[in-house]
Chain A
């Protein structure tokens, strides 16, 4: 009995230690980026900054916020995310609700049509040709329509409706002469806040983070979402306007070394500016996200 208690205690110690190390390893890069974004870039590149900020400077943020491309990217992304999320819900919810009604005789056929798209797709090129053929290139529609809804979301929402909307309530309203449309708007939707939040959030996050659709469907730089602007700054290193030349002190000539340092400071600041909104918001909405993962895993 004693041995068993002891082994349990050492298990506990080992488990806690390992978990703590894993959590620290996952958190560290985020903390590092945050600290680097307000530390003197020389200290960062020399390795003098390793956890907390040193020789604090807000130059990076000043340049990022003074930059039009980033603001425009932010605005575009906000617009695409808002419009895209509303469209997603408008397409998703009625369809999922209809599928949850047992009087829908075509249900197996419709489900099959939807589920088959999970298994097989025409691929990148034919999809691109359809979007192009519809004249959607370089319009907001290319950002919000080609992925407006997925089979997975429909399955999840349909399972939710089936489980949570009380049949008696729907029947009672129908006897009162309400149409499906009225029942859906007045009875079903008010009861569906959790699924609306979950589905909306999932879609909003994916719209906020996507870059590939913008890469292939947009050529007009003024329409670029934030992620494409970030790609230029962070990966292809086109610092461009926000770079040292067009910085906060016009006319002041900065040395090449200075330019490189500022460029790296800007990169860290940009990462924070781009990632912070979601990182700040998600802990408060965590339960909705988790619900989404879990409902999605329920097997039919």
Chain B
């Protein structure tokens, strides 16, 4: 303590010095950051640096640094390829489709919120959350089994109604519906949690007052519940738009086969195939970079829009 005091008298109390001293005094705190920062640098920032291979012809023997520059060659090749529009279209359609169903968890939350019976409320929550805990592989396994043209549940029902069996998993026409609606099945309940919590925060007196004024339950939902969760809705919508182009590709990859490729080929699965299966690292990295850049632009634009039109935004 005494030496500390002495030092501060002797030294000029410059701002930098003070900061330096605080740094030294709290050095242990900085050690706490070390593992996480090391991780982020190695597994996030080095890949960001490594993404330069998108502008190079990567040779494993020459390394990232030694491979020759080729400029935008990989990008132009991708944009000019016949599958570029197909990939972009598939990626966009599947995401827009998913986005259009964004209100479903909100409706579920509003519905559960109106239930007064405690046990019914609790059970409907627990049961609708359940599919969220099933892995993607098992979900797709279930789809394959249920939609099997010979033995599957769905085709049995179609058969019982006198219809012809449908090759669901092999059909490009069905792929999007199966992908999106199985996602609704899996995440509907889980997605409602956040809205339910926002609804639980509404002052119950508001409903009481509205009731006295003669409002119906639907009017209460419209004028009290919905406005209460609006900020949550906006934030989640921005976040969803933020990973607009990359959402769910692990499931797409599992559902994909040569027969449904016309609609199931999306940018991310293509990156995996051309890069890791066919070894075109530079080309695949370029496509991946295109995807990331579009995502960044989308989230920044969406955030600006949200900030301009309401007081809710991410930053």
Contacts and interface: CB of A to CB of B under 8 A. Distances in A.
Q: Do A and B bind each other?
A: yes
Contacts of B130: 26-27, 30, 279, 282
B44 A122 contact: yes
A8 B127 contact: no
Interface string B262-291: 000000100110011000010011001101
Interface string B162-183: 0000000000000000000000
A297 B194 contact: yes
Interface string B23-50: 1001011111101110110111111111
Q: Is the interface of B mostly helix, strand, loop or mixed?
A: helix
A50 B159 CA distance: 14
A212 B115 CA distance: 40
Contacts of B108: 19, 22
A91 B35 contact: yes
Contacts of B159: 47
Contact of B36 (A50, A92, A180, A230): A92
Interface in A164-222: 179-181, 184, 205, 208-212, 216
A132 B130 CA distance: 36
Given A123-B289, A180-B29, A264-B151, A30 B131 contact: yes
Interface stretch (B5-13, B87-95, B135-143): B135-143
B209 interface: no
A267 B141 CA distance: 8
Interface residues of B, number: 94
Interface stretch (A53-61, A63-71, A105-113, A241-249): A105-113
Contact of A124 (B30, B135, B157, B271): B271
- Give chain A's interface residue range (CB within 8 Å of chain B): 35 or more
A154 B36 contact: yes
A116 to B, nearest CB: 8
Contacts of A184: 32
A211 B126 contact: no
A129 B128 contact: no
Contacts of B224: none
Contacts of A23: 123-124, 127-128
Given A47-B153, A98-B32, A234-B137, 4 more contacts: A7-B216, A91-B36, A122-B46, A124-B276
12 contacts: A4-B216, A15-B115, A16-B115, A19-B111, A22-B188, A92-B36, A103-B29, A122-B50, A124-B268, A130-B43, A230-B137, A274-B135
